[in-house]
Chains A and B, each alone.
Chain A
Amino acid sequence: ASAKLGRIAKREVLDENLNVYLTRFGYMPSATDDAVGALRTEESVRNAIKEMQEFAGIPATGKLDDRTIKLMNTPRCGLPDKSRQTSGRRKR
Chain B
Amino acid sequence: YSVRHIKWHRTDLTWSLRTTQFQDQNLRSYDVRYVISKALDVWSKHSKLTFAEVDSDRADILIYFHRKDHGDNFPFDGRGIILAHAFFPTGQEGVSVDVHFDADENWTTSGSSDLGTNLFMVAAHEIGHSLGLSHSNVEGALMYPWYTEMKNGFEYELPEDDRLGIQSLYGARDEKKRERIPHYPHQPTYYRPTTTTTTTTTTTMRPVTRPHHKYPYDPRNPYGKHPHDPRNPYGYYPNRSDKSPQKPMHPSKKHHYYPTGSNPDHKPDKKHYTPGYDPNRKSTATRQDYPLVTKRPYTKTVKPHHRNQPHVTHIPTERTTRYVPKEYPGEPPPDTCDTSYDAIAVIRKELFIFKDRYFWRIGDNGLVEKNYPAEITRLWKDFPKNLTHIDAVYERPDGHIAFFIGDKYYLFAGLRVVPGYPKPITDLGLPVSLKKIDGAMVWGHNGQTYFYSGDMYWRFDESVQKVELDYPRNMAMWNGVGTDIDAVFQWKDGRTYFFKGKGFWKFNDQRMSVEHVEQKPSGPFWMGCKQNYEENGLNQK
Of the listed stretches B75-83, B153-161, B238-246, name the one at the interface; the rest are far from the partner chain: B75-83
Fill in one digit per residue for B84-124: 1 if any A CB lies within 8 Å of its CB, else 0.
Answer: 11111010101111100010000000000000010000100
A19 to chain B, nearest CB (A): 15
Q: How far is the CB of A30 from chain B (nearest CB, A)?
A: 11
A56: which B residues are within 8 A, CB to CB? 137, 139, 146
Dominant SS among interface residues on chain B: loop
The answer to whether B98 touches A91 (Cβ under 8 A) is: yes
* Contact yes or no, A87 B88, CB < 8 A: yes
Decide if B146 touches A78 in the complex (CB within 8 Å).
no
How many A-B pairs fall under 8 Å by CB? 80
**Bound CA–CA A75/B102 (angstroms):** 12
Residue-wise, chain A 59-72 has the 8 Å CB interface mask toward B (1 for contact) of 00000000000011
Task: Report whether B81 and A73 are in contact in the complex, using a CB–CB cutoff of 8 Å.
Answer: yes
Bound form: Cα–Cα A10–B94 in Å = 49
Determine the chain A residues whose CB is within 8 A of the CB of B138 once the complex forms.
57
Residues of chain B with a CB closer than 8 A to A71's CB = 146
- Chain A proximity of B74: nearest CB distance (Å): 5
Contact of B83 among A76, A87, A88 (CB under 8 A): A76
B355 to chain A, nearest CB (A): 42
How far, in angstroms, from A80 to B87 measured CA to CA in the complex? 11
With a CB–CB cut-off of 8 A, which chain A residues contact B322?
none
**Counting CB contacts under 8 A, is B58 at the interface?**
yes
What is the total number of residues of chain A having a CB less than 8 Å from a CB of chain B?
23
What is the CB-to-nearest-CB distance from B349 to chain A, in angstroms, rounded to a whole number? 21
B62 at the interface (CB under 8 A from A): yes
| A54, A56, A74, A77, most chain B CB atoms within 10 A | A77
State how many angstroms separate the Cβ of B402 from the closest Cβ of chain A. 32
**Residue B126 CB within 8 A of the other chain:** yes
B: interface residue count bin: 35 or more
A81 with B88: CB separation less than 8 A: no
Contact B90 A88 (CB under 8 A): yes
Q: Contacts A56-B139, A74-B146, A74-B147 hold; do A79 and B85 have CB atoms under 8 A apart?
A: yes
B536 to A: closest C-beta gap in Å: 48
Min CB distance B498 to A, Å, is 41
Q: B96 is contacted by which of A74, A77, A87, A91 (Cβ under 8 Å)?
A: A91
**B145 adjacent to chain A (CB < 8 Å):** yes
Is B37 part of the binding interface, using a Cβ–Cβ cutoff of 8 Å? no
Residues on the B chain within 8 Å of A88, using CB: 87-88, 90
**A89 engages B146 (CB within 8 Å):** no
Bound complex: CA of A73 vs CA of B80, how far in Å? 8
Assuming the A-B contacts A88-B88, A91-B97, are A77 and B126 also in contact, with contact meaning beta carbons closer than 8 angstroms in the complex?
yes
CB of B175 within 8 Å of the partner chain? no
Q: State in angstroms the CA–CA spacing of A17 and B145 once bound together.
A: 18
B contacts, CB < 8 Å to A: 58, 62, 72, 74, 76, 80-88, 90, 92, 94-98, 102, 117, 122, 125-126, 129, 134-135, 137-139, 145-147
The 4 A-B residue pairs with the shortest CB-CB distance, nearest first, are: A78-B85, A75-B147, A78-B82, A89-B87
With A75-B146, A83-B134 known, 20 other A-B pairs at CB within 8 A are A57-B138, A75-B81, A75-B82, A75-B117, A76-B83, A76-B146, A77-B83, A77-B84, A77-B129, A78-B82, A78-B85, A79-B85, A80-B135, A87-B88, A88-B90, A89-B72, A89-B87, A89-B98, A91-B96, A92-B95
